[in-house]
Structure 1
Amino acid sequence: MNKKFRVLVLVLPLFLLSCKDLTELNVNTNGVQPSVVNPNLVFPTVVTETAKAFVNLGYMNIAGVVQHTQKDAWSSEHNDYDWGGSQDWRPYYKILVNNKLVYDRATELGYEFHQGASLVMKAMLFGLITDLWGDAPYTGAIKGDEGMENLQPQFDTQEFIYDAIIADLEAANTLLSKNKGDYVGIDGNVDVLYEGDPAAWRKLANSLLLRYYMRISVKKAAVAKAGIEKIVANPSQYPLITSADEDAAMPFTGNSPDTSWPASTAFDPSESNYKRIKMAATLVERLQEINDPRLGVWAQKVEIPLEVSAAFPAGTDEIVEVNGKKVRHLSPDKVGTTQIDTDPEYVGLPTSFSALPSAYNLNPTPGQTSNNPHVSFLNEMYKEPAGDLLKARLVSAAEVHFILAEAALKGWAAGDAEEHYNAAIEASFETWGVSDDLGDYMAGADVAYNGTLEQIIEQKWIASWTAATEAWFDYRRTGLPDLKAGPAAKRDVLPVRFYYVKEELLLNESNTMSAIDKLEITGYSQADAKNSAWSKPWLLQGTGKPWN
């Protein structure tokens, strides 16, 4: 169903992205003007840029936070949470500018499908912004073209934004409830997710509703319970993504760096970005413990395993061939007290264990250009610019079923928790092409349903590979999985939000400081004061999660 995306370049007047001081608008006489543009020209850019934003978080630095991956060079942000206020929300607001244009023009033209789909994208983007930062410009955002009073927008509260997201998704569900033939203006060729299928977009809207009801389930339990139970009780009114072939997942064309899988090697002869990303030991070791076949899809086996034996003569350090495979033989004195992993198949990098992670496992070539043969690289498919499994995953059937399993475990009327748990894992296995292994896997002692939240969230954490933002947001809300910061990390616990950047403090100081004042300082905020990645926004305040 998914179409490979084509990035369309639309020349628009320069709008205010969030709170930039613009005193005039430039009009490109050779471009398409917003007052007459067809929404079908703009909407593909909204979707593709959003999908790229999600995968750039979920495959890159946030994958480091939730310990799916670690980097062995240029690693301080990825491994150690040394963010230093470098996160910038302007790219997300830029997408929202274009999305507002889609909605406004669709309203003028009576294109209800486009109105509904743009509300879905609005909810997804503002949801990401408030999930990452907390309070943010919402009501007054992206209105710089409407008057000077909007150049320094107020920040709405995180609670208000979540409520607005839910309202937008409810409106989208209604707008997308007609048969396809009842809409005008649909061009399936430009819809890179669902080929202009309103029913599929409606399922995406309601699946996002589930996500955000569960997001607020600790702070507003009654609202979340009523919302989820309403959705489950009315499947014809609130259809959901329930099978892997319905996932909101965008493939890549791979025609340029901008349309390729992030860190692919097609346009990077050095392969450095690909080589730096390694599987995290946290994920590798757990997947090995539960015999998870997805490990072999995501990672390569180590090129040269280590073997340490007292039977080797003192001073032994040599690469030999054993049964057609290279092995590095070491005597104990050559290892000393160094931490090593002698697993013959898969070896992950420990979390933030050192300022020089490339030296791990006796790498003979430590440094920024290392090619460590003793640690697992990612599967070679991640070198490619495009491929069947290389998709930016926005919402999946696995996520939907895990949410419903958690809701049912809470005692809410959301169906059978075990059935949803099993369906979630089945959907993930289908996504990654390992369905034939499902039966044996589900029979495993640690995988067979045991009725605990720990198990549901652990499997959801695994299934969120390359879409790690949801794993991080679940961790913040539940404290699960029980992830530990490494010894070289900036703090002793995992962070819970992004910093407000200096540009916002300079250009919109009063409103930014008001938002910062609402953050809760914790024992880990330290020198950052309130504007810290370890200060708690509204969603976490008073919950005791993920740490006190």
Structure 2
Amino acid sequence: MKTSIHIFKSVFLLSMMVFTACDTLDEINENPNGVSPSDANPNLLMPSVMRPAATNILNLGYGDMAGTVQHTQKDGWFTGHNQSDWGLRDWTGWYDLLRTNRFLYQRAEETGLEFHKGVSLTMKSFIFGTVTDLWGDAPYTMALKGDQAGLENEFPEYDSQEVIYPGVINDLKAAAQIFATGNNEGVIPEYDLYFGGNATMWHKFTNSLLLRYYMRISEKMPEMARQGIEEVYNSGVYLMGADEDVAIDYIGASAGDSWPSATDFDAGSNFRRIKPCNTLLDRLLDYDDPRVGVWFRPVHCRWVEDTSLPVAVDPYIRENGQILNGVVSFQDIQYLDRIAEGNTYTRHYNPDLLGRQLDTREYVGLPPMLQGPSDHNLNPTGGQQLENQHVSQLSDHYRGRSGGFLKARIMSASEVHFILAEAAQRGWSVGDAETHYNNAVRYSLQTWGVGDDFDTYIQNPQVAYDGSLERIIEQKWIASWTTATESWFDWRRTGFPEMNVGEAAPESQIAVRFTYGNNEINFNAQQVAKAIERLEVTIGANRGPNNQWAKPWIIQGTGKPW
């Protein structure tokens, strides 16, 4: 009882102090440094959607998706990257962006800013498109309505991809109509991280996304896809060159706004885990692809086959041909300094005595899905040391924080022209397939700073257009370096490029989707269960239907990728 009295007295005294300090309670509740939602400037909201959308795609395309499409493999903490051992994956971050984006649209409507409405519609389409691409069916028509009267306690239903993809396309068409007017009234260029307020470039981006999603549905809704792609092509408004790639730079001030493998923030361990995958590297080397040296670094120490060697393997490495007694390997940072000084490092082995061949190439990758990837190519420092001197690392660009090639790229002119090449190869009225194919290859080489090598590269019989879908998709897959999600979706749709699982593969095929996460399973169980029932389970049935190999609607009945 005394406690209650003391609390009452304290509250009363506090209340008196409040009333004597201010004329009204409204003055107390007003934060002089805050912004009311009703006064929010749409310009300030744009970066909160645009930057994380771009970096999320980069984190996927440079991260686990690069492992899935066999651009890279990891030799430390590798199971998720190499073997699609992802577990349940929530989409919370994507829907957080969609809520912010919905607020952007509301404020654009309230302030009469059409340009910002177009931006919001484009980003809504991009994000919802990504969600359904990755997971399958998802909340769409009933999503983001929890604050509306009568819907506060509703659990959002999952729409079929058959509904979501046309919805994405319709919103992109609406955005394109806005940008076609050229009106960019009210935009502050610095807050438009993609195009600095340029409505024409937004129109090109929006139409290019239309090309992406029309091609995505080409096996399921072929007539809609054909008509849509022909319409965009005839408009002449889409990304036309490497200088129009949709990408943002990293700031580089902290780990959170730097390239994901920046060595300044983790002593380089994350960087050194990532190695080229032989599925990609072998093709690059076979084709004399000029991008190989942009993306990867030669091995620190190269194996040399030597049948005159009296032992199976040199006990120590050689510097400029001379044995360095007692030195089996240097650390990565030591190699960098010594090689920069002009030294070369080798190690001899005798295949007859060793009983097997080693990879003696200048560039060496990891085969996909190895049981013990850190031991590959007779690494003398296996385990989690991540110092394999006999396997290539990424090029030194990817050690950095920002600048140069370190961009979060979400769409390229190269991708657009590969789409048009595929459409033409199908016989659709979009011009000449070889011309689009050549332009796509050219723009990719330009993006990676080796455009001068185009004439030589395109004349390689293994590269030159041969009229096949396989050739188009293979080169598109190569060009999707750091944007590997698109190659994953293309592979699901076409079965190209050919990729094989490795010895540690958890299933007989590569995964095709993300699994629904714990948030949905725990809090929206009835609706997610209905979505799971619509999946087609052909592989991994012992894992339950919500698995990485269960086919979503977009590939059901197509016979692809298996």
| Aligned with residue 277 of structure 1, among 260, 267, 274 | 274
- SS of residue paired to 2:304: strand
Mapped contact 1:253–1:259 kept (Cα < 8 A): yes
- In structure 2, the partner of 1:6 is none
Letter in 2 for 1:484: N
Higher mean alpha-carbon deviation, 393-402 vs 29-38, is at 29-38
- In structure 1, the partner of 2:250 is 252
- In structure 2, the partner of 1:518 is 534
| Aligned with residue 372 of structure 1, among 358, 371, 388 | 388
| Aligned with residue 42 of structure 2, among 17, 24, 39 | 39
Whether 1:542 aligns to 2:535 is: no
> What is the CA-CA distance between 1:265 and the residue it aligns to?
1.1
> What is the CA-CA distance between 1:316 and the residue it aligns to?
3.7
**In the comparison of the two structures, how many residue pairs are matched?**
510
Question: Compared with structure 1, are the counterparts of its residues 187 and 334 closer, same or farther at alpha carbon in structure 2 (3 Å cutoff)?
Answer: farther
Q: Distance in 1 between matches of 2:490 and 2:129?
A: 14
Whether 1:139 aligns to 2:134 is: no
- In structure 1, the partner of 2:162 is 159
> What is the CA-CA distance between 1:501 and the residue it aligns to?
1.1
Tell me the alpha carbon deviations over residues 142-187 of structure 1, each in whole angstroms, 9 at most, x when there is no partner: 22222454541111111111000000000000111123xx432110
Letter in 2 for 1:377: Q
Mapping of 1:37-436 within 5 angstroms? Answer: 37-85=40-88, 87-147=89-149, 148-149=151-152, 151-179=154-182, 182-235=183-236, 239-268=237-266, 270-317=267-314, 318-322=316-320, 324-332=343-351, 335-337=354-356, 340-343=358-361, 345-354=362-371, 356-436=372-452
Mapped contact 2:313–2:350 kept (Cα < 8 A): yes
- SS of residue paired to 2:547: coil
Q: Distance in 2 between matches of 1:465 and 1:495?
A: 19
Question: Compared with structure 1, are the counterparts of its residues 224 and 215 closer, same or farther at alpha carbon in structure 2 (3 Å cutoff)?
Answer: same
> What is the CA-CA distance between 1:400 and the residue it aligns to?
0.5
Tell me the alpha carbon deviations over residues 498-523 of structure 1, each in whole angstroms, 9 at most, x when there is no partner: 0011221110000000000000111x
> What is the CA-CA distance between 1:440 and the residue it aligns to?
0.7
Whether 1:481 aligns to 2:497 is: yes
- SS of residue paired to 2:515: coil
- SS of residue paired to 1:116: helix
Mapping of 1:485-524 within 5 angstroms? Answer: 485-522=501-538, 524=539
> What is the CA-CA distance between 1:28 and the residue it aligns to?
9.9
Whether 1:530 aligns to 2:545 is: yes
Mapped contact 1:340–1:360 kept (Cα < 8 A): no
- SS of residue paired to 2:261: coil
> What is the CA-CA distance between 1:190 and the residue it aligns to?
1.1
Letter in 2 for 1:267: F
Tell me the alpha carbon deviations over residues 23-44 of structure 1, each in whole angstroms, 9 at most, x when there is no partner: xxxx995542322210111111
Q: Distance in 1 between matches of 2:353 and 2:276?
A: 26
Q: Distance in 2 between matches of 1:69 and 1:204?
A: 28
Q: Distance in 1 between matches of 2:179 and 2:57?
A: 24
* Aligned-pair identity (%): 49
Q: Distance in 1 between matches of 2:156 and 2:230?
A: 36
- SS of residue paired to 1:32: coil
Tell me the alpha carbon deviations over residues 222-272 of structure 1, each in whole angstroms, 9 at most, x when there is no partner: 11011111112232xxx100111111111111111111111211222x211
Q: Distance in 2 between matches of 1:362 and 1:33?
A: 62
Q: Distance in 1 between matches of 2:49 and 2:496?
A: 33
- In structure 1, the partner of 2:3 is none
> What is the CA-CA distance between 1:314 and the residue it aligns to?
2.4
Mapped contact 1:66–1:471 kept (Cα < 8 A): yes
Q: Distance in 2 between matches of 1:128 and 1:340?
A: 41
Q: Distance in 2 between matches of 1:306 and 1:200?
A: 49
- SS of residue paired to 1:142: coil
Letter in 2 for 1:351: P
- SS of residue paired to 2:55: helix
> What is the CA-CA distance between 1:496 and the residue it aligns to?
0.5
Mapped contact 1:141–1:150 kept (Cα < 8 A): no
Question: Compared with structure 1, are the counterparts of its residues 33 and 398 closer, same or farther at alpha carbon in structure 2 (3 Å cutoff)?
Answer: same
Question: Compared with structure 1, are the counterparts of its residues 165 and 150 closer, same or farther at alpha carbon in structure 2 (3 Å cutoff)?
Answer: farther
Tell me the alpha carbon deviations over residues 299-336 of structure 1, each in whole angstroms, 9 at most, x when there is no partner: 00000011232211124423123465210111236633
- SS of residue paired to 1:123: helix
Higher mean alpha-carbon deviation, 37-46 vs 458-467, is at 37-46
Mapped contact 2:290–2:453 kept (Cα < 8 A): yes
What TM-score, normalized to structure 2?
0.89
- In structure 2, the partner of 1:466 is 482
> What is the CA-CA distance between 1:387 and the residue it aligns to?
1.4
Letter in 2 for 1:335: L
Question: Compared with structure 1, are the counterparts of its residues 271 and 156 closer, same or farther at alpha carbon in structure 2 (3 Å cutoff)?
Answer: same
Q: Distance in 1 between matches of 2:120 and 2:67?
A: 31
- In structure 2, the partner of 1:14 is none
- SS of residue paired to 2:284: helix
Larger Rg: 2
Question: Compared with structure 1, are the counterparts of its residues 413 and 315 closer, same or farther at alpha carbon in structure 2 (3 Å cutoff)?
Answer: closer
For structure 2, the residue ranges without an aligned partner over 5 or more in a row are 1-28, 322-342
Q: Distance in 2 between matches of 1:512 and 1:316?
A: 56
Question: Following TM superposition, where does structure 1 have runs of at least 4 consecutive aligned residues deviating by more than 6 angstroms?
Answer: none
For structure 1, the residue ranges without an aligned partner over 5 or more in a row are 1-26
